[in-house]
Chains A and B, each alone.
Chain A
Amino acid sequence: MIQKKICLLGGFGVGKTSLISRYVHSMFSDKYLTTVGVKIDKKSVTIDGTEVDLVIWDIYGQDDYQKVRMSYLRGASGYLLVADGTRRSTLDTALALHDSAMATVPNASFTLVINKADLADQWEITDDILDVLVKRGWRVLKTSAKTGSDVEDAFASLARAMIQS
């Protein structure tokens, strides 16, 4: 069994916390997010027979990404960039956060998660944009915190990438 630290990064209201609330074990309440700016959760996934304990640092999302405490990223093996499919700006925030994260943890794996797949008809983020990112080698997944669709996959793919890196 190995442990990995991962972070959730994303703008305000992209559904990071909703994304994990159904899938993780947490002993802390959400108020930590607004006070300390981070909340610790834990999730176990099994990748190719290896059990991986993901210690998830859910970092409080703000649209002004400069206010996000990037020091929380230190030591992370990977991070999920979360954006809200219905708001284009959240993708920009995510990309900006990615740039900041790269400065702190250049070797970390990451996965871009576009949330709210259940509201596909309202999406502002088009597949064209995402294709560009995929072509850059990014892992991009569409999830729905509401239905649970592909949430597990998001964590699993990140974990796999971290182990293989």
Chain B
Amino acid sequence: MAETSLGRDDVPGQTVEAPAGPAASGSADDDAFNELRSLIVGPERRDLRALEAHVNDAALRTREVGRILPEALTVRAHDPQLAKALAPSVEAAITASVQRDPHPLADALFPVMGPSIRRAIEHMFASMMESFSRTVEQSVSWRALTWRLTAWRTGRPFAEIVLLNTLEYRVEQVFLIHAETGLLLEHVSANAGQAQDGDQISAMLTAIRDFVHDSFNVTGREGLDGFRVGNLSVTVEQGPYATIAGVVRGTPPPDLRLMFRRAIESIHLLLGLELKDFQGDAAPFERARPTLESCLATQVRERPKTSYRRWVAVAALLLVALGVWTFTIVRERQRWSAYLTRLAAEPGIVVISSGRRDGKFVVTGLKDPHANDPAALVEPSRLNPAKVEAHWQPYEAIEPAFVVKRATALLRPPPGVMLEYRDGALRARGPAPERWLIDSERIAPAISGVNRFEYAGTSAREQLTRRIEAMTVLFAKGRAELAPGQLMAVTNAAAVIAQLGEALRVEGRTARVEIRGHTDSDGSAVENGPLSQARADAVLRVLGAAGADSITLVARGLGVDDPVSTGTSEPEKVLNRRVSLRVLMPPDPTTAGSRP
């Protein structure tokens, strides 16, 4: 603009020389003028251009504002106007941030909110405990019972009796009274339903104050501070223009007066002018209500802390007792259940029923006499034996183990003999005497579960047979009489034959025992035949009726046949001069081939 104005009319050109011709002189003038102009206003023009560029450069401006903005905000930090101006933007920013992602804000506030929330929870918990304790105390304590009795006797509500007994003090009503007129300015009451004429009461309080004032010649502004009737008192606190009077039930603490003092002072501060110019319109004193309401204090009698703790302790003990009782019950049931499981797994025991009766565990069932004693399982199960009642009926288990036990008890097998049972057969193994085998064979089928007795070895009959056939009775050369030393051998043979006879009798079988006479090879067959027969007959005579009914004894002379040795030496010949025994068994018609 400066340039334009200079170019138009403010040209300081009066001193410039006039041009030579119209065209040439005009051009020369312009050049000179421009030069002059650039000399005079050149620097300013450059500055102006730079400024213009600066002003028009939005990015540059933004940077500059950004640079100075924090400083500017700091300078005006305490300006309420700034806070007011920023508030909508800050609110909008917070809202937008929360809408986008609430976490950053929550994280930022966490250190502040955490302790607050904790305090709130602690406070709530403390209140709950207090309330719980109070409830317990007011419902079950001796004191509560007497209160209930009083309530019932006097016909007053229980809550009122509790309040009367637990109340330290309670400001029930507060009057704000105009000092000069005694008119009621405002009135608050702790009981919303309390309908008393505050106007008249406040006037009467004033009258009483005046009465005291006059009657006792009180000077100045001194006056009635309060009075007390029984449990009720009126505390009066006077200000220059208004008086506050609180109706207190119970024993007010000294600092209550201080509270009233502060209240009346704050009301004078707030409504001083209205009080001074009071003409009967109490409406402005509505504003004093919050202050008056803050005076409606209640203090419940501080109960000793131990009481609270005592109840908590009692509750805790009860809980612990309940827990222990429950634990004991559950553990006992678990043990009982484990005991029953053990019983069920025990061979020879069958549980039929189980349950509880008269505080005892009861079990009934069947028990094999050879089964383990169920009572012995009670203690390992860690049950109290006195609390377990069992009723067992005897029965015979047919499990192999029990059949074996029964057989063992009855047959009493000799050492080294093992009994086993399978598929109805009782089987014995190991070296067993013939006598025992004979007895067992007879008795075993009488045992419950046993159909037959088997012996996994040489049977008694076979053993006896082998022993009999191994016997030899030697004779002197050419002689048929028993030598004195041989009589014993024959007597022994008689006993063994008698045993065989017994074994056969048990089996219901018979046999024939051949008494065979032999000679050596000397002499002729004519002589040797009768000699061998004579030797056999000699032995037969000694054996007599050995073997009784089941064995038939037969004497046979075999001459030189069937020698022990075919040698011709004298010691060999001695062995051939003998009588041997041979047991001949007819085949068993029933069990032939079935026995090993």
Residues of A within 8 A of B (CB): 1-5, 25-28, 32, 36-38, 40-42, 52-53, 55, 57, 69, 71-72, 74-77
CB pair A3 B199 closer than 8 Å: yes
Contacts of B200 in A (CB 8 A): 26-28, 40-42, 55
Contacts of A55 in B (CB 8 A): 181-183, 199-200, 203
* Complex alpha-carbon distance, A40 and B200, angstroms: 6
Judged by a CB distance under 8 angstroms, whether B196 is at the interface is: yes
CB pair B208 A5 closer than 8 Å: no
* Complex alpha-carbon distance, A69 and B281, angstroms: 27
Nearest chain B CB to A23's CB is how many angstroms away?
15
* Complex alpha-carbon distance, A49 and B185, angstroms: 22
- In the complex formed, the residue of A with least CB distance to B204 is A40
CB pair A69 B211 closer than 8 Å: yes
Nearest chain A CB to B89's CB is how many angstroms away?
48
16 sample A-B contacts, Cβ–Cβ < 8 Å, listed by A number: A1-B281, A2-B282, A3-B199, A3-B281, A27-B197, A28-B204, A36-B211, A42-B199, A55-B182, A55-B203, A57-B182, A57-B207, A69-B214, A72-B210, A74-B180, A75-B180
Q: Which of A27, A52, A75 contacts B182 (CB 8 A)?
A: A75
Residues of B within 8 A of A (CB): 178-184, 196-197, 199-201, 203-204, 207-208, 210-211, 213-214, 279-282
Question: Do A3 and B184 contact each other (CB < 8 Å), given the known contacts A28-B200, A38-B207, A57-B203?
Answer: yes
* Complex alpha-carbon distance, A52 and B281, angstroms: 10
Contacts of A37 in B (CB 8 A): 211
Nearest chain B CB to A25's CB is how many angstroms away?
7
The 6 A-B residue pairs with the shortest CB-CB distance in the complex, in nearest-first order: A75-B181, A75-B180, A2-B280, A40-B203, A5-B181, A40-B200
Contacts of A4 in B (CB 8 A): 183, 280
Nearest chain B CB to A80's CB is how many angstroms away?
16
CB pair B207 A72 closer than 8 Å: yes
Question: Do A74 and B210 contact each other (CB < 8 Å), given the known contacts A2-B280, A55-B199?
Answer: yes
Q: Which of A2, A5, A71 has the most chain B CB atoms closer than 10 A to its own CB? A: A5
Contacts of B211 in A (CB 8 A): 36-38, 69
CB pair A53 B199 closer than 8 Å: yes
* Complex alpha-carbon distance, A4 and B201, angstroms: 15
Interface of B, secondary structure class, is: mixed
Contacts of B213 in A (CB 8 A): 71
* Complex alpha-carbon distance, A53 and B280, angstroms: 9
* Complex alpha-carbon distance, A74 and B179, angstroms: 10
CB pair B281 A2 closer than 8 Å: yes
CB pair A3 B196 closer than 8 Å: no
Nearest chain A CB to B175's CB is how many angstroms away?
13
Contacts of B197 in A (CB 8 A): 25, 27, 42
Nearest chain A CB to B282's CB is how many angstroms away?
6
Nearest chain A CB to B147's CB is how many angstroms away?
32
- In the complex formed, the residue of B with least CB distance to A163 is B280
Question: Do A3 and B183 contact each other (CB < 8 Å), given the known contacts A28-B204, A42-B200, A57-B207?
Answer: yes
* Complex alpha-carbon distance, A57 and B183, angstroms: 11
Nearest chain B CB to A37's CB is how many angstroms away?
7
- In the complex formed, the residue of B with least CB distance to A76 is B181
Q: Which of B183, B210, B214 contacts A5 (CB 8 A)?
A: B183
CB pair B210 A71 closer than 8 Å: yes
Nearest chain A CB to B446's CB is how many angstroms away?
115
CB pair A69 B210 closer than 8 Å: yes
Question: Do A5 and B279 contact each other (CB < 8 Å), given the known contacts A28-B204, A42-B199, A69-B214?
Answer: no
Contacts of A26 in B (CB 8 A): 200
Nearest chain B CB to A108's CB is how many angstroms away?
11
Contacts of A52 in B (CB 8 A): 280
Nearest chain A CB to B71's CB is how many angstroms away?
59
* Complex alpha-carbon distance, A75 and B213, angstroms: 15
Nearest chain B CB to A156's CB is how many angstroms away?
16
CB pair B210 A77 closer than 8 Å: no
- In the complex formed, the residue of A with least CB distance to B213 is A71
Nearest chain A CB to B348's CB is how many angstroms away?
98
Nearest chain B CB to A142's CB is how many angstroms away?
28
CB pair A5 B204 closer than 8 Å: no
CB pair A36 B214 closer than 8 Å: no
Contacts of A77 in B (CB 8 A): 181, 280
Nearest chain A CB to B337's CB is how many angstroms away?
78
Q: Which of A2, A3, A36, A57 has the most chain B CB atoms closer than 10 A to its own CB? A: A3
- In the complex formed, the residue of A with least CB distance to B206 is A75
* Complex alpha-carbon distance, A50 and B180, angstroms: 23
Contacts of A76 in B (CB 8 A): 181
- In the complex formed, the residue of A with least CB distance to B207 is A38
Contacts of A36 in B (CB 8 A): 207-208, 211
